[in-house]
Amino acid sequence: MTMKQLTEMINSVMGQQVLSEDQFKQIMDGAAKARDHGGMGAVLEFLMKVTQADVDFQELEQFANQVQTNPQMGLDILKGEKKAPAVKKKKKRSGKRTKEK
């Protein structure tokens, strides 16, 4: 599958133009660099930062492992043939700090 096809598929799933082919290529290049420096965990952190995803890292990591084990599932989700499993949002911090004694 080409970058153009993947970009079109992502935009189709999102229902609007959210990503250009050039933007997608830059994201993929950054993800590859993150993988080279820190493995899959670094890739997920990079993608969460780039997309500003408000999800629980462990849930996302579990989902990524499922897709790695079954790539067809990931493709089916991108094609809209299957729904992605629900991923929990990160817990918001209250902003209040308590002193430890």
pLDDT by residue (tens digit) across 46-94?
988 988 878 888 888 888 888 889 989 888 887 778 877 766 665 544 4
pLDDT at residue number 87 = 60
pLDDT of 29 > 90? The answer is: yes
- pTM beyond 0.75: no
* 7 or 80, higher pLDDT: 7
pLDDT at residue number 89 = 60
Q: How big is the CA angle at 67 (ends 41 and 8), to the nearest 5 degrees?
A: 100
